[in-house]
Amino acid sequence: MQAKDYPRELVGYGRSTPDPKWPGGAHVAVQFVINYEEGGESSIMDGDPASENLLSEIVGAAPWPGQRNLNMESIYEYGSRAGFWRLFRMFTELNVQTTVYGVTLAMARNPEAVAAMKEAGWEIASHGYRWLEYKDFPEAKEREHILEAVRLHTELVGERPYGMYQGKPSDNTLKLVMEEGGFLYSSDSYADDLPYWVKGLDRQPFLIIPYTLETNDMRFATPQGFNTGDQFFTYLKDAFDVLYQEGREGTPKMMSVGLHCRLVGRPGRAAALKRFIEYVLSHDKVWIPQRIEIARHWHEHHKPAAAL
């Protein structure tokens, strides 16, 4: 296949990354994401064929076709009942902003948590209508879920979402997100340390703000992942130190930190997260934005002058 026909972009910014011109001349933008998924995961009670099996203390769990897994359910319930509030207190007491990736059905089942997110002034981006694997969904059904996510999100929050992270996307997800028409960015990518533009509808540029699966507490729930809070802290610190130094040398980047209420919301892990946040706050020339702030900054300062 000729390069011009190949659907993937493997070159990116190449050897000369652009200066993002972060506010205040920041050497790095550190962006925290709280994934709020509890209550939107796979469950036969919501018509799914099997129980949830991902990202819990039961590493390597298998879905149970036609059955509830009460252990799995209670692990998820810890996230909404206790873990969320531990993270809420931590971020508000440290006066650090975050973006929530909110699964819409999960938010609908805990209005008090949504009220707290709004009280804190957090961005609430969409994490889809359900936390499901969309690769096998018919295009029309996924479109229906995206539209319902926006409708219900707007009803719950009082404002539509401007960012989208489906999390387990299909080949159609990005097209459907652009087609919906109201999103400023998508984060279903792990391809770069900076935002970038892709060709949207009618060749208009559409913004991708990459996310992360490595500076992410999900690695507490995967083989060859983090076993202790110290491992989590050390990995985050090393990533921050490298990016901060690159920024001092003239090539600032962004660092995403992915969090889950049922994982890092546990006390022994929350301690490591707090140490890392305090470490970041001990440095000058660090910008800690919401993802919507990065999106607006990129739209203002780095939008292509013409169609792609």
Asked whether residue 263 carries a pLDDT value surpassing 90, the answer given is yes
Check if the beta carbon of residue 141 is closer than 8 Å to that of residue 172.
Answer: no
- pLDDT tens profile 47-83: 988 888 888 888 888 888 999 989 999 999 999 999 9
| Residue 184 binned pLDDT confidence (cut-offs 50, 70, 90) | very high
Three-class DSSP category at 279: helix
Q: State the pLDDT confidence band at 2, using cuts at 50, 70 and 90.
A: low
AA identity, residue 229: G
- Average pLDDT over the chain reads 95
Q: Helix, strand or coil for residue 274?
A: helix
What value does the mean pLDDT take over residues 260-269?
Answer: 97
pLDDT classification of 3: cutoffs 50, 70, 90: low
Question: Which is nearest to 40 in space by CA: 126, 151, 118, 158?
Answer: 126
Question: What are φ and ψ of residue 72, in 5° steps?
Answer: -60, -45
Q: Strands, E, within the chain: which ranges?
A: 28-36, 99-102, 123-126, 163-164, 185-186, 196-199, 205-208, 253-260, 286-287
The CATH label, of 3.40.640.10, 3.40.50.300, 3.20.20.370, 3.40.50.620, for the domain at 24-55+63-302 is: 3.20.20.370
Q: Given the DSSP bridges, would you call strands 205-208 and 196-199 parallel, antiparallel or unpaired?
A: antiparallel
Compute the average pLDDT of residues 89-100: 98
Q: What is the pLDDT of residues 198-245, one digit of tens each?
A: 998 888 999 999 999 999 999 999 988 999 999 999 999 999 999 999
